[in-house]
Amino acid sequence: MDGFPLEVRGVRKAYAGHVAVDDVSFAVPAGRVYGLLGPNGAGKTTTIRMVLDILAPDRGEIRMFGRPRRREDTRRVGYLPEERGLYRKMTVMDQLLFLGELHGVARAEAARRAGGWLERLELGEWAKAKVETLSKGMQQKVQIIGTILHEPEILILDEPFSGLDPINQGLFKELFAELQRQGRTLLFSTHILEQAEKLCDSICLISKGRVLLEGDLAAIRRSRGGHLHEAVFTGAPPSLEGLPGVRLVEPREGAARLHLEPTAEPAPLLAELVRRGGLTGFRSLEPDLESIFVEEVRDAV
């Protein structure tokens, strides 16, 4: 597979004067889990719909498999939308056969694959049941089977954990990890940064339709090392206003995370914290995604 099976280059989309996506660019490496991250309304779903040719960008380019995207490329993509869409009056197996045939899988082969996945996800006894009789979690399992039934090279998952209980969240995570081990490329969007931190190799962080940060997650975290410190106190922290070299304070119970200016040194800060009293611990942290996001959004305002 190409080095970057999916590339988004400078795409823009506006609706009635509102710019939903503004010059967004990113490249998804082959065989990786890539997170398109940001709060609700950031432009994630609009970007995904442009990737899938559901929406046309006002400008910019979508590339797949090392060239400008072609209509037939979508046969090599599996898409799990945020708003699930199953035909409630169809049986589970008929639904899966229909989805498989839509993606060019012969009916007999689709039936073989669907049966295997239904057994794997503990839905075998529900194959002849109507979709409307299934619980929400079971319907989501059917939806994910329909997404992977044609064995796509790229999986695009829009808020895949939305509404799932913890058990099914764990099941889906295991499944996504297995698909990655098979060499498939996964792009998923979420506003829950804790999930992304556990799953993603690379990220694109967007807010208000614009890219704030993009690249390898481990490299991004390493590059921010030295700028984030944690101070721990006995009892309630003292006043943390006006600390030297600190541009953002995140209060925690009995502690605080301190974001330093890029050129600031921690020694003067430590001396000031000692002077204010109650300090029992002070250490440098490698920032988590939540801290990085808070800092990036603050700087973009």
pLDDT per position as a tens digit, 206-225: 999 999 999 999 888 877 77
pLDDT at 301: 57
Q: How far apart are CA 2 and CA 122, in angstroms?
A: 35
Domain with CATH 3.40.50.300 in the chain: 6-221
What is the pLDDT averaged over residues 255-281? Answer: 92
Question: pTM here?
Answer: 0.81
Given a cut of 90, is residue 83 above it in pLDDT?
no
Question: Is the pLDDT higher at 283 or at 263?
Answer: 283
pLDDT at 196: 87
Q: What is the mean pLDDT of the chain?
A: 91
Given a cut of 80, is residue 266 above it in pLDDT?
yes
Given a cut of 70, is residue 299 above it in pLDDT?
no
Residue 174: band (very low, low, confident or very high) from pLDDT cuts 50, 70, 90: very high
Residue 1: band (very low, low, confident or very high) from pLDDT cuts 50, 70, 90: very low
Residue 132 to residues 23, 168, 259, Cα–Cα distance (Å): 41, 19, 50
Domain with CATH 3.30.70 in the chain: 226-285
For the domain spanning 226-285, the CATH number is: 3.30.70
What pairing do the DSSP bridges indicate for beta strands 185-190 and 154-158? parallel
Tell which phi-psi region holds residue 278, choosing left (phi > 0), alpha (psi between -120 and 50) or beta: left
Given a cut of 50, is residue 76 above it in pLDDT?
yes
Question: Is the pLDDT higher at 191 or at 34?
Answer: 34
Q: How far apart are CA 262 and CA 222, in angstroms?
A: 14
Residue 235 to residues 6, 40, 91, 130, 246, Cα–Cα distance (Å): 51, 36, 60, 58, 22
What is the pLDDT averaged over residues 264-288? Answer: 91
pLDDT at 294: 78
Given a cut of 60, is residue 260 above it in pLDDT?
yes
Identify the top-confidence range among 59-68, 192-201, 260-269. Answer: 59-68
How long a stretch of residues is the chain?
A: 301
Q: Give the three-class secondary structure for 249.
A: strand
Instruction: Please determine, looking at this structure, whether the domain spanning 6-221 carries the CATH number 3.40.50.300.
Output: yes
Sheet holding 59-64, edge to edge: 18-28, 6-15, 59-64, 67-68
pLDDT in tens, 36-59: 998 888 999 999 999 999 999 999
Residue 177: band (very low, low, confident or very high) from pLDDT cuts 50, 70, 90: very high
Given a cut of 90, is residue 226 above it in pLDDT?
no
What pairing do the DSSP bridges indicate for beta strands 67-68 and 59-64? antiparallel
Given a cut of 90, is residue 75 above it in pLDDT?
no
